Amino acid sequence: MPSLDPIPAQRNDQVEANSDDEADPELVELLRQHFGLGERPKDAPPETKVLEGAQYVFDNAIDIAVSLAHTKGAAETIWRMMQKKEYSTHTWSEHELHPQTKDESTVDFIFTMDLLNFSFWSDEEEEPKRFCIEYRGKLWTGYWSLVAALQRALDEDIPITTPDFWVDEERCTEELLKHVFRSATDGEIPMFKERVQCLREAGEVLCEEFGGSFVNCIDSANLSAAGLVNILTESFACFRDETVFHGKRVRLYKRAQILVADLWACFNGEDFGEFHDIDKITMFADYRIPQMLHQLNCLRYAPKLESHIRDLKPIEPGSNWEIELRGTSIWCVELIKREIEKQHPEVKMNRQNPHSKSISNGSENSETENSDENSIESGDKLKVVEKPGKTYGINAILIDFFLYDTMKNLEAEKNESIPHHRTRSIWY
């Protein structure tokens, strides 16, 4: 068997020093960097490598395929419908549960929200047994149950968004946290212990390394969305959403990326939400986007996987099926974005149109208007609306928000063509 040890370089005495036949060291280093064999320059812009890993998963997936024909068709319809709804960053704060202020307290809220933004789906068929939060005279489920619980705690003068409170176990006891997440039903919040652990660990990191404030993390990123994602995933274990697929490290980073996206949306791309490379953020690999992409016939599942999902059987975190579901979804949305940019290059110049007026938050249970002229039912029933007269920018974040909202509407109407996959995980 050949040795796997590197062969030491040997000088060829027949080649004179600095001759034309000697390799240019700068060219060699450039080629090494191009093929990933050398270290990145210190001043190179940050990269999350999420998209790179997603393409690798797509290239090596066995039980999930992407239909390029349906992806192209979906791209055009998604673009037209998003233009009609004027998707942008400008109404993130219009939901009654989202923070109305635009200051450091809002940053604290968003960090806490996305630190705990995972696994709200229920195994219970009966509504009275499902976890929900009662707040302001309404019952809130899914993602909104988390936001409602945080707002309710702040109303009760519990400093639930304060890192130094999380690490003070005499004040921030498990009993108090159970009170914060108390349900209006018999159901309990899923993965309570894991959420407590996330709070404790993140609080320690913020207090010990970032002066007790996530604002200092944002400052350290130097207006780079990718840089902030990397700070999150390198400094906080509970944001390090990565795995190994066929021998390669794959980064998925759902919650880290949606945290950056929520800052961008909340602050309308300004102040704490200003990032010069926001388009490096991919879609957020969770339950609903794979479900929606399958509904559009963009994703095709092998019969065994499809039966497994339809039977509501759990899929293990880190398994090949789970990684394929998440990775191919990221790549599929990237293909949709590229197709839109190819057919409508003007969207690149209008990413942050200041006059647009409608957005989702891209999280659990968000809602948008739904009518016959705007609806998406399946890949064979896409209805194309009239081309709008004004162009609004599109990126992977906004496409994710739109697909998520559409899937939630279809669920409410009981028009799902397939259930979402079941995986219990802190990553989404």
Contacts of 201 (CB under 8 A, 6+ apart): 236, 237, 238
The DSSP H or E segment spanning 148 is: helix 142-155
pLDDT tens-digit profile, the chain (428 residues): 433 333 333 333 333 334 444 555 555 555 555 555 556 666 789 999 999 999 999 999 999 999 999 999 999 999 999 888 887 776 677 788 989 889 999 999 999 999 999 999 988 877 778 899 999 999 998 899 999 999 999 999 999 999 999 999 999 999 999 999 999 998 999 999 999 999 999 999 999 999 999 999 999 999 999 999 999 999 999 999 999 999 999 999 999 999 999 999 999 899 999 999 999 999 999 999 999 999 999 999 999 999 999 999 999 999 999 999 999 999 999 999 999 999 998 887 565 443 344 444 444 443 333 444 445 655 444 444 444 445 567 899 999 989 998 998 898 899 999 999 999 999 99
| Rounded CA separation 77/403 (Å) | 12
CA 361 from centroid of its chain's CA atoms: 11
All structural domains of the chain with their residue ranges: 45-95+226-351+392-427
Integer Cα distance of 196 and 201 in angstroms? 9
Buried b (16+ CB within 10 A) or exposed e, 395-410: bbbbbbbbbbbbbbbb
Supply φ then ψ for residue 140, to 5 degrees.
-120, 135
286 among known catalytic residues: yes
Pairing of strands 242-245, 248-251: antiparallel
| Spatial separation of the C-alpha atoms in residues 392 and 85, rounded to whole Å | 9
For residues 317 and 427, is the Cβ–Cβ distance under 8 A?
yes
The pLDDT value recorded for residue 377 is: 56
What's the confidence (pLDDT) of residue 357? 42
Find out whether 319 and 246 touch, Cβ atoms under 8 Å. Answer: no
State how far the Cα of 233 lies from the Cα of 213, in Å rounded to an integer: 16
Please list, in sequence order, all residues whose beta carbon lies within 8 angstroms of the beta carbon of residue 71, skipping any fewer than 6 positions away: 298, 332, 335, 336, 339
- Dist CA 74 CA 80 (whole Å): 10
Question: Annotated catalytic residue: which of 286, 380, 400, 405?
Answer: 286
Task: Write the CB contacts of 415 (distance below 8 Å, at least 6 apart in sequence).
Answer: 377
Amino acid 419 reads P
DSSP string for residues in 358-418? B---SSTT------TTT----TTS--PPPPPSS-----HHHHHHHHHHHHHHHHHTT--SS
Helix (H, G, I), strand (E, B) or coil at 342: helix
User: What six digits make up the tokens of 283?
Assistant: 């879609």
